[in-house]
Amino acid sequence: MNQETRIAGCSQFAWRDGELHCEGLSLANLAEQYGTPLYVYSKAAMVERYQMLRQAFGPKAGIAYAIKSNSNLSLLRLFAELGAGFDLVSLGELRRIQAAGIKDADMVFAGVAKQEQELEAALEAGITFFNLESQRELALLEAAGERVGRSVPIALRLNVDVDAETHEYISTGRRQDKFGLDLDSASQALRQIRDSKRLQLVGYHIHLGSQIRSTRPFLEAFSRVEEFMAAAPEHREGLRYYDLGGGFGIAYGDGAGLLDVQALADQLLPRLEAHGLTAVLEPGRFLVGDAGILLSRVLGRKPGGERDFLLVDAAMNDLLRPSHYGAEHPVAAVSRPDRPPEGKVDVVGPICESGDFLALGRSLPDMQEGELLAVFSAGAYGAAMTLTYNSRPRPAEVLVDGESSQLIRRRDSYPDLWAQELDL
Ligand code: LLP
């Protein structure tokens, strides 16, 4: 294998002479240096995706990185340097922005069950707008505005009952989902906003779900918002932003590819401009998903009743997506992946439950103990959802930039695992 080979969508990971590299560095060397399991991210891949969105949506659009997808401080700094704002859902995420030393970034605050102290802290920090999720929040926002002595900018999250046709757990724009306000409640909320001195309507927000790969739901949702805006004068007064949420889908190794963000921008932006609205986006997975892999070492192979098991040192606590959502991340041998496959295997970790797997029924070469396995497209909701279940230290994380690498999270030590527990 002399030419470069890649997994679809993962532009900065390539096999050269049979060895997987992230940008200019060999993953075998990174595993040697930092140990496994290890998250490895490519800076160039993140920059590339950011530029792709910027190019499509233009200089005026707000790109608010969804912190929840990967909240590592170094990545937050990287996106701030690129000019991104942030989508937060908790006080913890605001504290991360502050801990990263990020000043004056645009920030939007979503979340279905916001609490008083979160609202106050966000208002003090100069939040661009809150996404209003329920009428319950109006009194909280009003009180926060009084205490902080500021007016409270609101982008009302409409539940437009559009099915994003994605996994049940990450679908958020249907009538039965807990998010946003249905149109009747939204009308009532808007009357309350109009009658309040502190509250100020600045836009609408929708977020239909995650891992959406067609433009249709986004366009359909905006049509519903347009109808709603046309219904009454107080539905459109003072509007500046249309926040179309995140959820831009990635390929997970499937040739069909990414959401076509250029097509989305081409179709949506003229419609927004006609209403004088600026686009705000909240991408997470699209920016970081394909930029990261989880690197794991093979512990051995075990014959199974139906299929053999490939035992590796990473487990569901390190990457929850396969067992929690049935997500299918591409997996491959870090060295010479073109060896003939040895039948299909289940890639499983050391955790004591049968739900502990990283991949099921995959064709892989006969990998030996000590070899390395890469799990692709693991940059989003990978490290962010790690657990210490089975008292397993959470993995280290490394950011690669060209020929250099930087440890951006050290592996948990064993004492880290019980550091919060009190010895009574
Ligand atoms: N905005 C809001 C209001 C959200 O709730 C989310 C994700 C995003 C933006 C970013 O979505 P993205 O662009 O990353 O798809 N843990 C799941 C995904 C949960 C998404 C939750 N909300 C997974 O691993 O697939």
Please give the mean pLDDT across all residues of the chain: 94
pLDDT attached to residue 56: 98
Three-class HEC string of the chain: CCCCECCCCCCCEEEECCEEEECCEEHHHHHHHHCCCEEEEEHHHHHHHHHHHHHHHCCCCEEEEEHHHCCCHHHHHHHHHHCCEEEECCHHHHHHHHHCCCCCCCEEECCCCCCHHHHHHHHHCCCCEEEECCCHHHHHHHHHHHHHCCCEEEEEEECCCCCCCCCHHHECCCCCCCCCECHHHHHHHHHHHHHCCCEEEEEEECCCECCECCCHHHHHHHHHHHHHHHHCHHHCCCCCEEECCCCECCCCCCCCCCCCHHHHHHHHHHHHHHCCCEEEECCCHHHHHHHEEEEEEEEEEECCCCCEEEEECCCCCCCCHHHHHCCCCCEEECECCCCCEEEEEEEECCCCCCCCEEEEEEEEECCCCCCEEEECCCCCCCHHHCCCHHHCCCCEEEEEECCEEEEEECCCCHHHHHCCCCCC
Task: Go through the domains of the chain in sequence order and give each one's CATH number.
Answer: 3-35+291-417 (2.40.37.10), 43-285 (3.20.20.10)
Q: Using alpha carbons, select from 345, 307, 305, 347 the residue that is nearest to residue 323.
A: 347
Pocket-testing residue among 250, 285, 286, 288, ligand 1, by greatest number of atoms within 8 A of Cβ: 285
Alpha carbon distances (Å) from 51 to 81, 91, 286? 13, 28, 12
Rounded distance from Cα 113 to ligand 1 centre (Å): 16
pLDDT, tens digit, 9 for 90 and up, residues 297-335: 999 999 999 999 999 999 999 999 999 999 999 999 999
The region of weakest confidence among 30-34, 110-114, 272-276, 396-400 is 110-114
Q: Which residues contact 274 (CB under 8 A, 6 or more apart)?
A: none
CA of 339 to the centre of ligand 1 (A): 37
Task: Categorize the per-residue pLDDT at 3 as very low, low, confident or very high, splitting at 50, 70 and 90.
Answer: low
Which atom of ligand 1 is found nearest the CA of 320? Answer: 24
Instruction: Report percent pLDDT > 90 for the chain.
Output: 87
**Closest ligand 1 atom to 212 CA:** 15
| pLDDT confidence band for 247 (50 / 70 / 90) | very high
Closest atom of ligand 1 to 167 CA is 25
For residues 162 and 142, give the distance between their C-alpha atoms in angstroms, rounded to a whole number: 30
**Tokens standing for 21?**
């590299």
- Give the tens place of pLDDT for each residue, 72-111: 999 999 999 999 999 999 999 999 999 999 999 999 999 8
pLDDT tens for 123-170 read 999 999 999 998 899 999 999 999 999 999 999 999 988 887 777 777
Residue 152 bridge partners (DSSP): 199
Question: What pairing do the DSSP bridges indicate for beta strands 241-243 and 278-281?
Answer: parallel
246 Cβ below 6 A of ligand 1: yes
Q: Is the CB of 325 under 6 A from ligand 1?
A: yes
pLDDT band at 112 (very low <50, low <70, confident <90, very high): confident
Residue 221, Cβ neighbours under 10 Å: how many? 24
- Ligand 1 neighbour 286 (Cβ under 6 A): yes
> Which amino acid appears at position 158 of this protein?
L
According to the model, what pLDDT value does residue 73 have?
Answer: 98
State in Å: Cα 181 to ligand 1 middle: 18
Confidence of residue 1 (pLDDT cuts 50, 70, 90): very low
> Which class for 86: exposed (0-12), middle (13-18), buried (19 or more C-beta within 10 A)?
buried
For residue 381, report the distance from its CA to the centre of ligand 1, in Å.
9
The answer, as to whether pTM is greater than 0.85, is yes
10 classed as catalytic: no
49-65: per-residue pLDDT in tens?
A: 999 999 999 999 999 99
Find, among 35, 73, 61, 50, the residue nearest to 279 by Cα: 61
Choose which residue among 210, 259, 264 to substitute to test ligand 1 binding: the one with the highest number of ligand atoms within 8 A of its C-beta. Answer: 210
Determine the atom of ligand 1 nearest the C-alpha atom of 110: 3
**pLDDT at residue number 274:** 97
In terms of Cα–Cα distance, which of 331, 340, 348 is closest to 366? 340
Cα distances (angstroms) measured from residue 146 to each of 45, 111, 196, 198, 367: 44, 21, 11, 7, 63
Give the end-to-end CA distance of the chain in Å, rounded to a whole number.
59
CB half-sphere exposure, 343, CA atoms < 13 A: 11
Looking at residues 238-267, what average pLDDT do you find?
92
20, two tokens = 């997987």
Q: Which one of 274, 352, 419, 424 is the catalytic residue?
A: 352
Ligand 1 centroid – CA 64 distance (Å): 12
